Structure 1
Amino acid sequence: MNPSSFSADLIIVPGWIISMEPRGEVTSGQAIVVEDGRIKALLPLEALPESSSIERIDLPDHAVLPGLVNAHGHAAMTLLRGFADDLPLMPWLENHIWPAETAHVGEEFVRDGTSLAMAEMLLSGTTTFSDMYFFPEVVAALCMKNGMRAQLTTPVFEFPTAWGEGADDYISKSLALRDECKNLDRLSIAFGPHSPYTVAESSLEKVALYAAELDMGVHIHLHETAGEVLSAVEATGERPVDTLRRLGLLGPRTQCVHMTSIGKQDIANLAETGAQVIHCPQSNMKLGSGTCPVGKLQMAGINIGLGTDGAASNNDLNMFNEMHTASLLAKLTAGDPTVMPAQDALHMATLGGAKALGLDQEIGSIKPGKQADLIAIDLSAPSTQPLYNPLSQIVYACTGGEITHSWVAGEALLRDRRLLTIDMDDTLARAKYWRQKISSQ
C-alpha cells in the first residue's frame, strides 16, 4: 500500500478486538483505524501502510473494546462515599443523604464531586455516563473540559432544592439546558423525574408531553423496592409502571432504573412499550432493595443497560465490578449457571447501555462510522493468565485496574494509566476538603 494514499489520525493494533457486533465475537490480527473522531475501518494487519506519519499504538497484550457506558449514577455524590452505609433505602435517603445534600450541595460541591467521579470512571474503563443530579450545567462544562461523553438527566421534584423551586422550575431549566447543549456532540439532555413518589402526576404528564415533542429521554427511578410498589398500590390502586403507561410516559426513550420488584404484567408493559431497563445490582444489593430479574427481561426481549448508581450507595463507580456482580447474581437468582454469560454482561455495559440512552447509533460497539469511544485493557497480568477466553477474563477476572488507554471520539483521555485531562492532585485535594467540611457538621 502507498502510505501517501492512506489517511487516518490514529491506528490501534491490539492483540484482540471485541467489537460487540456481533455479540461475543473476538477477533485478532486486525487494526482499528480512526479518522476525524470516528472508526474509519477495521483492517487486517497486512493492509496497513508499512511506514507512515500516522500515530500508531501497538498493544499486543491488550484487548480493545467499546468504552463502557455507566447508564445510571449521581456523579457528585462521590463526595458522600461511605457517609451513611448499611441502611435501608428510605432511612438512608430521608435521615442522612437528603439532609447532607440540603446542607452542602451547590455548584462547588457538584464540580468537585463530579471531577472525582470522572477520574474514577476513566481509570476503570467508563467513557460515557448518565448523570442524574443537581446543577447539570456544571457537569456539562466539566464534560467539555475533560472530554467524557454523558447523558445529563435534569432532576424534577415537587419540592425545592438548591437547583430549583418546584416541578415547573426544574422542567424549565431542563429545557433551557437542552437548548444550550443541543449542538454539543458529547452531551445529550434527558428529563430526570426522580420517581413516581416524589413527582406529581400532573408534572409527570408535562414531562411526557415535552419528551414526546422534543424526542428527549426520560430517566426515572422505578420499582426500586417492594415497599415503593405496595405504597403506590395502596395510594392510587396502580403499580408505578401502570401509572407511567397511563400518563404516556412509558416508551422506547424511557429509562427505568432499578426495577427490582416486578411481575409478569410489569414485564409485559415494558416489552409492549419498548421501554429500557437500567440494572444497578450492587447498589440494590447494598441497600437490600431487591433483585432485578434480568433473565426474565431478556427472555421478553427488553433491552438492559448497566449502571453503578452513586458512590454513596455502591460504593464505587467501577463497571467491571458491576458486570461481575450482574452475571453472578443473575445465575444465583435463576439457579442456572448458563444465565447471563460473560458476553451478555459485557453487552449490558456497552451496546445495551448505549441503546438504553438512545446513543447506540453512535457508540457501544466498534463499527465503521461510529464514534471512536474505545478502551484498551491489558490481559498480560497473572490474574488474567492463562488466557483461553478474553470475554471471560474481562467479566470474571478483571477489576478495571487493567485499563491502560481510553479514547472518546478519538481523543485520548487516558494513556498508560495516566489521566490526560483531569488534574488528579487537585481533584484529590478537593475530596479531602469536602471530607473535613462534611464530617465537621
Structure 2
Amino acid sequence: MPELRLEAVSKSFPRPAGGEVWALRAFSLTVPPGALFAVVGPSGCGKTTLLRLLAGLETPTSGRIWIGGREAAGLDPAARDLGLVFQNHALYPHLTVRENLELGLEARRVDKVEIRRRSAEMADLFGLRDTLGCLPGELSGGMRQRAALARACARRPGALLLDEPCAHLDPETRREARMFLARLWRELRMTLIWVTHDQSEAMAVGEQVLVMRDGTRCQLGTPREVHGHPENAFVARFMGSPPMNLFRGRFVKPPGSASWAFEESGSSANAEAKGTRLRLMWPEDCPIPGALSTGREVLLGARPEHLALESVESLDETNGDERARIEHVEWLGAETVVHFSTAFHEGTARCGAVSKWAPGVSARVRLCRPEAIRWFDAATQGRLAGGEVRSPHS
C-alpha cells in the first residue's frame, strides 16, 4: 500500500474567454498507507481534480506528487498502482460483468488461469456471482457500482480512488453501498480516498475527513473533530445537518445586571418586522473567553442541539430579549427541527419528537450547552481559540 503525498500542488485550466481558473492552489496532503480518507466540499472546490492528478490523468501546473516514495512526474497512469472509479461506474455496456472484470487483466497480460481465479474471487467478494453473464444495462445501480469496483480491485491496486461512488444511487441503495464499501476497506485494508459532496456521507465513512473549498484545504481531522471543532465558519456551516447556527454579535452587560449577555448585531431590511435583537444570557458559572469581554464583534457558533426553545406567554415577559419567531417546523420522527428567525439571523434548534411549536409562535432562545459554543472572528471567519484567531484556511 503506497503513501500518497502532494507538496504545494497547484492546477489551473484555461478559460475559453481567456485567462485561467485555478482548481487547486498550493495544495499539500499526505495520505498514509491503509488510510480511509473522505474528501468533501461544494461543487467546483477541486475534489475531482485532486483524484485526476493522483491518477495521472492531469498534470500539475506546479508542485510535486509522490506515490509510494516515487515522484509521479512523468509516471504513466498504468504504473501508479492506483484504481480509479468515477460516479458513472465506467463499465463497457456491450460486455458482460465477467468480461468487464477480465478485460483490464488481459490488457496487463495476466495469465489466463490467474485471470479466471481473480474474476471468481472478485465475484464472490462483491456478491456478483449470479450476475457474471449479465450486461451492465441489466443490473441495478447498486450492482453496477459493485461491478465497477470489482473491476478496479481485480488488478489489486495499492490504493483506490472513488469519485462520488454513491451519487446516482437512491437513498436506500446509497446506505447499503456505504456499509458495503466500509466493510470492503476493512477486509482489504487498501488505501482509499472517497470523494463526495455529501457531508453526512463523508462523516459516515471517513476515518479522516478533508474539507475543501476553492481549491484549498479548510480542515483535516476525524469526523468528530471536524464536526465538533470546526476551524472556520465555512466548515461550521458546511459540516452538519442542520448546520451550525452562526450569530454575529458581542458580549454586553445589560443595564442593572451583573451577568454577561451575548447580543446579536447586524443589518437587515426587515429587522423590525422580525422583532427585536436576540440577547442570550450567559450562565454566571461558565466563564467567557477573556478576549470576548472587550466588546469585540464575533460569531457565536451553536449546533441546533445546543439551543433550547421555551414558551413566552407575552412579549413583555422578556421585553423582546431572547425572543425569536418560529418560521417552520420539520417533524422527522425521532426529533423535530424548528427553524426560527431573530432580528438579524435565521437559526435552527433540535427538539423532541413531540413538539408544541408552530409557525408564527414566539419563543425564548436559551443556550443549553454553553461549554459547546464555538467562537469565530467576525472579520476573518477563523476560529477563536485562547483569544487567538486561526486562519480560515488553516
Could you say whether these structures have the same fold, taking a TM-score greater than 0.5 normalized by the shorter chain as the test?
Answer: no
Higher RCO (C-alpha 8 Å, min separation 6): 1
Higher strand proportion: 2
TM value normalised by structure 2: 0.30
Larger Rg: 2
TM value normalised by structure 1: 0.28
Higher helix proportion: 1
